[in-house]
Chain A
Amino acid sequence: MRMPMKVGDLIVYIFAVALIMVGLLGMYAMGTQGGDKSVVVELDGQEVYSCRVYKGMAPVEFRVDAGNGQYNIVLITYEEVKIKEANCPDQVCVKSGPIRHAGQAIVCLPHRVVVKITAGHEETPDVDDIAS
Chain B
Amino acid sequence: MKRYQRIRALIIAIFLLGVALQGCARTAGPQEYRKDIFALNTWVNIRIYTGKEGPDILDKAIKRIEEIENRMSVTIQDSDVSRINSNAGKQPVKVHDDTFEVIKKALEYAEISNGVFDITIYPIVKLWGITSEHPRVPTEAEIQDKLRFVDYRNVVLNEAEKTVYLKEPGMGIDLGAIAKGYAADEVARILKEEGVVHALINMGGNVVAMGGKPNGQPWRIGVQDPRAEGARRHIAIIEVMDGSVVSSGDYERYFEEAGKRYHHIFDPSTGYPANSGLMATTVVAPNSIDADALSTTVFVMGVERGLELVDKLEGIDALAITFDKKIYTSKGLKGKLIVTDKEYELQS
Q: How far is the CA of A98 from the CA of B133 in the complex (A)?
A: 26
1/0 per residue, CB under 8 A from B, across A1-31: the answer is 0010010110011011101100110010011
Please classify how large the interface on chain A is, using the bins under 10, 10 to 19, 20 to 34, 35 or more: 35 or more
Inter-chain contact A130/B222, CB cutoff 8 Å: yes
Q: Which residues of A contact B16 (CB under 8 A)?
A: 16, 20
Query: Given known contacts A9-B6, A112-B38, is B237 in contact with A127 (CB within 8 Å)?
Result: yes
Inter-chain contact B232/A3, CB cutoff 8 Å: no
B232's contact among A42, A97, A132, by CB below 8 Å, is which? A132
B231's contact among A12, A23, A42, A105, by CB below 8 Å, is which? A105
Inter-chain contact A97/B229, CB cutoff 8 Å: yes
Q: Which residues of A contact B213 (CB under 8 A)?
A: 128
Inter-chain contact A127/B24, CB cutoff 8 Å: no
Q: How far is the CA of A93 from the CA of B10 in the complex (A)?
A: 56
Q: Which residues of A contact B231 (CB under 8 A)?
A: 93, 96-99, 104-107
Inter-chain contact A8/B233, CB cutoff 8 Å: no
Q: Does B35 contact A (CB under 8 A)?
A: yes
Q: Which residues of B contact A76 (CB under 8 A)?
A: none
What distance in Å separates the Cβ of B158 from its nearest Cβ neighbour in chain A? 35
Q: A6's closest neighbor in chain B, by CB?
A: B2
CB contacts under 8 Å to B, within A114-132, are: 114, 125-132
Q: How far is the CA of A131 from the CA of B221 in the complex (A)?
A: 7
What distance in Å separates the Cβ of A126 from its nearest Cβ neighbour in chain B? 7
Inter-chain contact A96/B2, CB cutoff 8 Å: no
Q: Which residues of B contact A99 (CB under 8 A)?
A: 231-233
Query: Given known contacts A3-B1, A16-B9, is B229 in contact with A96 (CB within 8 Å)?
Result: yes
What distance in Å separates the Cβ of B217 from its nearest Cβ neighbour in chain A? 9
Q: Which residues of A contact B219 (CB under 8 A)?
A: 128-129
What distance in Å separates the Cβ of A103 from its nearest Cβ neighbour in chain B? 7
Inter-chain contact A131/B38, CB cutoff 8 Å: no
Q: How far is the CA of A23 from the CA of B233 in the complex (A)?
A: 39
Binds A, one of B93-101, B189-197, B199-207: B199-207
Query: Given known contacts A16-B16, A19-B13, A130-B207, is B38 in contact with A44 (CB within 8 Å)?
Result: yes
Q: Which residues of A contact B205 (CB under 8 A)?
A: 130-132
Q: How far is the CA of A96 from the CA of B227 in the complex (A)?
A: 8
Inter-chain contact B21/A42, CB cutoff 8 Å: no
What distance in Å separates the Cβ of A37 from its nearest Cβ neighbour in chain B? 15
A31's contact among B24, B37, B38, B247, by CB below 8 Å, is which? B24
What distance in Å separates the Cβ of B2 from its nearest Cβ neighbour in chain A? 6
Q: How far is the CA of A20 from the CA of B17 in the complex (A)?
A: 5
Q: A82's closest neighbor in chain B, by CB?
A: B231
Q: Which residues of A contact B79 (CB under 8 A)?
A: none
A130's contact among B37, B233, B252, by CB below 8 Å, is which? B233
Inter-chain contact B37/A127, CB cutoff 8 Å: no
What distance in Å separates the Cβ of B235 from its nearest Cβ neighbour in chain A? 10
Q: Which residues of A contact B233 (CB under 8 A)?
A: 96-97, 99, 104, 130
Q: Does A92 contact B (CB under 8 A)?
A: yes
Inter-chain contact B13/A131, CB cutoff 8 Å: no
Which of B10, B16, B41, B229 has the largest number of chain A CB atoms within 10 A? B229
Q: Which residues of B contact A60 (CB under 8 A)?
A: none
Q: Does A108 contact B (CB under 8 A)?
A: yes
Q: Which residues of A contact B234 (CB under 8 A)?
A: 101, 103-104, 126-127, 130
Q: Which residues of A contact B224 (CB under 8 A)?
A: 130-132
Q: Which residues of A contact B222 (CB under 8 A)?
A: 103-104, 126-127, 129-131
Inter-chain contact B220/A127, CB cutoff 8 Å: yes
What distance in Å separates the Cβ of B258 from its nearest Cβ neighbour in chain A? 19
Q: Does A89 contact B (CB under 8 A)?
A: yes
1/0 per residue, CB under 8 A from B, across A52-82: the answer is 0000000000000000000000000000000
Query: Given known contacts A128-B200, A129-B202, A132-B205, is B6 in contact with A12 (CB within 8 Å)?
Result: yes
Q: How far is the CA of A126 from the CA of B340 in the complex (A)?
A: 10
Q: How far is the CA of A112 from the CA of B1 in the complex (A)?
A: 67
Q: Does A48 contact B (CB under 8 A)?
A: no
Inter-chain contact B13/A20, CB cutoff 8 Å: yes
B17's contact among A9, A23, A112, A114, by CB below 8 Å, is which? A23
Known pairs A12-B9, A103-B234, A104-B234; list 19 more (Cβ under 8 Å): A12-B13, A20-B13, A23-B21, A30-B24, A45-B36, A45-B38, A97-B229, A128-B200, A128-B213, A129-B200, A129-B209, A129-B219, A130-B205, A130-B207, A130-B232, A131-B207, A131-B246, A131-B282, A132-B252
